[in-house]
């Protein structure tokens, strides 16, 4: 199976793809809260075990998660260093002068990085097993009660659907432009700071221009089809089956148990 960027649907009949999209979105929300609420190191190990089960159920390879996390590697590294480095001379490991490394800070930073990786992994499993129309339709159905207070739920669903559709398009366009620049002899890992900025501008500039062109083309297509505010096409609704209820209840119970266990200090 080829790797897919975050937001790409993998057309395959998998156990996770047969679960209702609303259940997957609710569990993604519950897991997000649980990942940040559980502070113990053992909890992170359990979360990675759950992530392994989710990715196996979605038949997503781990290298897809690596590709999803790669664009934010700098942010992850900064998060780790910001927690690990100390400048007051009280670091557990001295580097130079007052600069040192705090063991507790390094552990705290590593846990923060792992939490971000966990969220990216669960999002990758959901996006790989759910089509963009299913995700947007599930969001519309979950947010429908807010329509009573004037929230444009249908428009939110449309924007979300377009955003999810554009994620793999942006990744594809970025790869194509970068390969074209490499074929012209451009080196992205050489030169000083300003030279690298200039080189990356040769990729980002046509990428942004191309996205604006696609957006204009999409707007013209919607206008020609007489799209109006609030108009949308809904996927026929179906009730939750036993597997949907079982997975939703199990996910909530496991998350609540882990959070309560951490609060009680067990």
Name the H helices within 184-234: 193-224
**12's tokens:** 């395959």
Most distant CA atoms of the chain, gap in Å? 67
pLDDT value of position 1 = 39
pLDDT value of position 184 = 85
Please indicate whether residue 203 or residue 251 has the higher confidence score (pLDDT).
251
Pairing of strands 93-96, 99-101: antiparallel
Output the average pLDDT for the chain.
84
Query: Between 103-129 and 41-58, two packed helices, what is the crossing angle to 10 degrees?
Result: 20
Does 41 have pLDDT greater than 80?
yes
Q: What is the pLDDT of residues 129-176, one digit of tens each?
A: 988 888 888 888 888 888 888 888 878 878 887 887 787 788 888 888
Confidence of residue 231 (pLDDT cuts 50, 70, 90): low
Confidence of residue 195 (pLDDT cuts 50, 70, 90): confident
Does 2 have pLDDT greater than 50?
no
Name the H helices within 70-192: 73-84, 103-129, 132-143, 153-183
Confidence of residue 264 (pLDDT cuts 50, 70, 90): confident
Q: What is the pLDDT of residues 45-62, one digit of tens each?
A: 999 999 999 999 998 888
Does 233 have pLDDT greater than 80?
no
Number of H helices, E strands in the chain: 9, 3
Start-to-end CA span in the chain (Å): 41
CA 210/CA 180 separation, integer angstroms? 15
Burial class of residue 140, CB neighbours in 10 A (0-12, 13-18, 19+) = buried
Q: C-alpha 264: how far from its chain's center?
A: 30
Q: What is the pLDDT of residues 90-118, one digit of tens each?
A: 777 878 777 888 888 888 899 999 999 99
Residue 94 pairs in a beta bridge with 100
Least confident of 35-44, 134-143, 187-196, 227-236: 227-236
pLDDT value of position 103 = 87
């Amino acid at each position: 199976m080829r790797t897919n960027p975050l937001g790409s649907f993998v057309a395959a009949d998998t156990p996770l793809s047969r679960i209702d999209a609303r259940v997957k979105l609710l569990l993604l929300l519950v897991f997000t809260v649980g990942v940040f609420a559980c502070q113990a190191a053992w909890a992170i190990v359990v979360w990675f075990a759950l992530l392994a089960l989710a990715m196996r159920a979605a038949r997503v390879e781990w290298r897809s998660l690596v590709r999803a996390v790669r664009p934010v590697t700098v942010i992850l590294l900064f998060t780790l260093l910001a927690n690990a480095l100390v400048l007051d001379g009280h670091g557990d490991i001295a580097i130079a002068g007052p600069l040192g490394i705090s063991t507790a800070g390094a552990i705290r930073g590593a846990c923060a990085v792992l939490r971000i990786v966990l969220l990216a992994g669960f999002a990758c499993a959901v996006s790989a097993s759910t089509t963009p129309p299913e995700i947007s339709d599930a969001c519309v159905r979950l947010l429908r009660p807010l329509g009573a207070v004037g929230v444009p739920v249908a428009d939110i669903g449309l924007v979300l659907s377009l955003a999810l559709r554009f994620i793999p398009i942006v990744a594809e366009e970025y790869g194509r432009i970068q390969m074209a620049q490499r074929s012209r002899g451009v080196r992205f890992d050489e030169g000083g700071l300003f030279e690298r900025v200039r080189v990356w501008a040769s990729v980002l500039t046509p990428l942004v221009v191309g996205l604006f062109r696609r957006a204009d083309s999409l707007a013209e297509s919607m206008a020609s089809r007489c799209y109006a505010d609030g108009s949308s096409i809904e996927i026929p609704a179906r009730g939750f089956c036993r597997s949907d209820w079982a997975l939703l209840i199990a996910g909530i119970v496991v998350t609540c148990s882990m959070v309560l266990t951490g609060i009680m200090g067990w």
